[in-house]
Structure 1
């Protein structure tokens, strides 16, 4: 474990009742170490003394946070005990630049718990959410992704993480080449009776607004009659990280591929809608099918890089969204994880 000496955040922020000898120091301290033996992520940051205010410390030690974040990609702030969503929101503001991103062009339902602070994906508790990076199919996505554990589940409910630079390196060379050259296409169908309606995905009831959003975000669209909509968007499957120049596997190719669904569900959907009418599916960028064996190979690469840990209430997990994928394990009991996205970034889309 390493103890870092950082800038003082002022005696006015230190505990005032029954001050211990350590509390009279004009310097703040943090303890840092890898959370799990033999695993690079996440890197844990804890207070080295009682009564530290995480938000005040972060405001006065932004350079420390930035340096740790660039080096470790996934930071777990533990035992700082934020009291509520507002504390979480203030920490996000203190450790990022620019405004918060809105969840639009959604793939899953969420609830607002603050100003652009959302619940993590609402999904049946007995099911797994597969690894993905947030917003890979948007033209602007978040560089920083935050989670805060407001209520830890009784069992399970971990948020596994995986380094997608390492995931990319695990892929066979011919698969890397295919996706580098062809990119990836996401096809979605709305209002056919399964999946989210476009009204929820685009957060509007106005078709003109949907069309405008699609044009601005390089999404092909067609109205199929009534309220039914089909969209297509082609995006790079591999990107270069803007700060490290590392090639990262940044896409939803496996996540949205129909073979990721339970066999019974995928067979039923294919029988009902056909492949072109599935709620969502992925292809190579030229429209040719991605082989099931390739999707399985991608899943295994994620699995080999997966790191899991149990949430503790008050934990804040700060992720480099282009470097670290996240997922969710099944759970028992109540669970509430708040999330926020910041530092919008756009790269080449076509």
Structure 2
């Protein structure tokens, strides 16, 4: 990824179609979206006048077999057929770079974002090339992570800090949760208070199935208290040990990850990012392996919807 990389932008004039959702649908009918994303990494569609009512049909073209956000760790609201609000995180904070569900046994290959309402200021979606992110990290850190990452989740049973297991797995049935987890190479235990503890060991990098590029592909910094900032990390440490937090992370063998490494991962990912600003009606689709994404702080109401597919 060179310094002047930006997502491919397509408007009605560039596509040679009318400025309407129908024009976009016609254009998408002739696109190999997977091949285009392997080449461009991200594509932004602007000026087609997409409305929430017509969004489902556009998502159907871009994201065949949309996925539910099962085992997701960020707070969101389901608003349609496997369509969700983007992370409901306070607007004054930056959301650091990550690949969606990179801590899980399976992840979406592509994501689509739709801007229903643009913020007054800020609120861009930053994108970071995973190859560049990996290369930006210190050699000793990359070597330490070569064995993988161990993620630990503590999901409460209805009341507590963080997400419940019911919200995480979109079910009230413990049997359905266990059936899901049996296929994920995870270990788990039900807690006496009705909560659920899940442990997963995953690789720290991944190779793109088409390009072969090796990318940084984990969420160690987001699962580490230091990734939240010094004050927040200190406050959490006073409340409970790391292994009792809603989520925590170590190296694969259980070795603690130094806080300065989590900060390095977070900051260098953000430093390498390219911001995509939003206007109402914009739509963006990205390759979830090649690119990490995040969110800049914003003011005013902002509503961006997201969907994902294999």
TM-score, normalised to structure 2, is 0.92
SS of residue paired to 1:205:
coil
Q: Does 1:95 align with 2:65?
A: no
Which whole-Å CA distance do the structure 1 matches of 2:262 and 2:227 have between them? Answer: 8
Query: 1:179-190, aligned counterparts within 5 Å?
Result: 179-180=145-146, 182-190=147-155
Count residues with an aligned counterpart: 302
Deviations 1:266-311 (A, max 9, x none): 2222222212211111110111111112222212320221111321
Structure 1 window deviating more from structure 2 (207-216 vs 232-241): it is: 207-216
Q: Does 1:292 align with 2:259?
A: yes
Which whole-Å CA distance do the structure 2 matches of 1:297 and 1:109 have between them? Answer: 25
Q: Which residue of 2 aligns with 1:45?
A: 10
Which whole-Å CA distance do the structure 2 matches of 1:38 and 1:238 have between them? Answer: 22
Which of 38, 57, 72 is the matching residue for 2:27? 57
Q: Which residue of 2 aligns with 1:132?
A: 98
Query: 1:6-21, aligned counterparts within 5 Å?
Result: none
Q: Which residue of 2 aligns with 1:78?
A: 46
Equivalent residues of 1:270, 1:278 under 8 A apart:
no
Q: Could you say if the C-alpha distance between residues 244 and 275 of structure 1 is closer, same or farther in structure 2, counting changes exceeding 3 Å?
A: same
Shift of 1:205: 1.9
Q: Does 1:68 align with 2:36?
A: yes
TM-score, normalised to structure 1, is 0.82
Equivalent residues of 2:226, 2:260 under 8 A apart:
no
SS of residue paired to 1:141:
coil
Q: Which residue of 2 aligns with 1:144?
A: 110
Q: Which runs of 5+ in 1 are unaligned?
A: 1-36, 344-350
Equivalent residues of 2:42, 2:286 under 8 A apart:
yes
Equivalent residues of 1:189, 1:277 under 8 A apart:
yes
Shift of 1:67: 4.4
Alignment RMSD: 1.8
Equivalent residues of 1:186, 1:234 under 8 A apart:
yes
Structure 1 window deviating more from structure 2 (42-51 vs 108-117): it is: 42-51
Shift of 1:39: 2.4
Which whole-Å CA distance do the structure 2 matches of 1:91 and 1:294 have between them? Answer: 40
Q: Could you say if the C-alpha distance between residues 66 and 231 of structure 1 is closer, same or farther in structure 2, counting changes exceeding 3 Å?
A: closer
Q: Could you say if the C-alpha distance between residues 225 and 66 of structure 1 is closer, same or farther in structure 2, counting changes exceeding 3 Å?
A: closer
Which whole-Å CA distance do the structure 2 matches of 1:122 and 1:177 have between them? Answer: 34
Q: Could you say if the C-alpha distance between residues 218 and 38 of structure 1 is closer, same or farther in structure 2, counting changes exceeding 3 Å?
A: closer
Deviations 1:54-83 (A, max 9, x none): 012211x213x4543221101111111112
Q: Which runs of 5+ in 2 are unaligned?
A: none
Equivalent residues of 2:108, 2:288 under 8 A apart:
yes
Shift of 1:194: 1.0
Deviations 1:109-145 (A, max 9, x none): 2112221111111111222211111011222211111
Q: Does 1:162 align with 2:128?
A: yes
Q: Which residue of 2 aligns with 1:338?
A: 305
Structure 1 window deviating more from structure 2 (189-198 vs 138-147): it is: 189-198
The structure with higher relative contact order (CA 8 Å, sep 6+) is 2
Q: Which residue of 1 aligns with 2:283?
A: 316
Deviations 1:174-231 (A, max 9, x none): 2222212x20011111227211111111112222222222222122112221212211
Query: 1:210-249, aligned counterparts within 5 Å?
Result: 210-249=177-216
Which whole-Å CA distance do the structure 2 matches of 1:202 and 1:236 have between them? Answer: 22
Shift of 1:172: 2.0
Which whole-Å CA distance do the structure 2 matches of 1:124 and 1:304 have between them? Answer: 21
Which whole-Å CA distance do the structure 1 matches of 2:183 and 2:237 have between them? Answer: 31
Deviations 1:311-342 (A, max 9, x none): 11111111000011111112111111111101
